[in-house]
Amino acid sequence: MSKISRFTNKAVQLAKNAVGERGEVAAPEGGGGFAEYAVVSLHCLRVYLEKSYREALDLLSEMPQILGEIGLKPADLPDHSTLVKWFDRIKTALWRVLLRLSAQEHEPSGHAAIDATFFDRENASKHYCRRTNYRVQTLKATALVDTKSQAILDVHCTTEKRHDTQLGWQVARRNAGDLASLAADKGYDWMDLRDKLREEGVRPLIKHREFRPIDHAHNARIDGPRYRQRAMCETVFSTIKRTLGDAVRARTWYGEFRELVLMCAVHNIKQSLKQ
């Protein structure tokens, strides 16, 4: 079985679980809409192939076996503009469910790292930027990564200049019940964050910025091997940008966030197939 066939099989399975599939036919005959799991699967393949909407559909039209995994035929494929509209209609909550299910394909270690990176925001034209006041050219993504499996457990996106410590707590709080420790660099140095994590039963592995001798003492007590695993975040970001792209192409803010969540889910699926 080829890599793309294995990926499609896993993506369809997770998509059905995410939407609560009730036995719908992917492309019903005699009218009617496509099953939601089929639409989600097509978008997963679009990101996996790292192609535009039009290019992805052109490629898939030449892959009847891959479409058969979804339950579609080449003649069933919609126009690329229809696929764009479907992406806007699917709620963010569904993409988050898909991300969570894709992370559950990995054996959790309980030890995670958190870090942030930036993705470019591609746009159609300068005229569009002026018309929509589209000034911020980067999207900040904060990801929570399992240090053993390199699976992305959660992701937060923003175009605002919020501090890492605030974003870190927002992401960690949602996942505190599944964590034993959390590693982060000195950008997350905030005593309130450490205290909040300890209250949730999570050991903070966050080094102090060194202004006083006591800061050096605190840093010396941090578990070295566990703390050094925080570099897994950078490894994951590098893998996503190298294999899935370093830019989000949706025009709207919510579309960019959904696209990034989808990219993280596709990364998790690819990692689970490697294992």
Model pLDDT for residues 158-189, shown as the tens digit of each residue: 888 788 888 999 999 999 999 999 999 888 98
What is the residue whose two structure tokens read 């679009």?
A: 46
pLDDT digits (tens, 9 = 90+) for 238-267: 999 999 988 888 777 788 899 999 999 999
How many CB atoms within 10 Å of residue 6? 15
SS3 192: helix
Same-domain status, 157 and 230: yes
Structural domain of residue 171, as residue ranges?
108-248
The residues with which 184 forms a beta bridge, in sequence order, are 206
pLDDT of residue 235: 94
Q: Is residue 95 part of a domain?
A: no
Same-domain status, 77 and 142: no
Q: Which residues contact 73 (CB under 8 A, 6 or more apart)?
A: 27, 64, 67
Task: Decide which of 59, 90, 121 is a domain's last residue.
Answer: 90
**Positions of the chain with pLDDT under 70:** 29-32, 122-136, 215-217, 219, 223
How many CB atoms within 10 Å of residue 160? 7
How many CB atoms within 10 Å of residue 252? 11
Same-domain status, 240 and 112: yes
Per the CB < 8 A criterion, the answer to whether 156 and 238 are in contact is no
Q: Is residue 102 part of a domain?
A: no
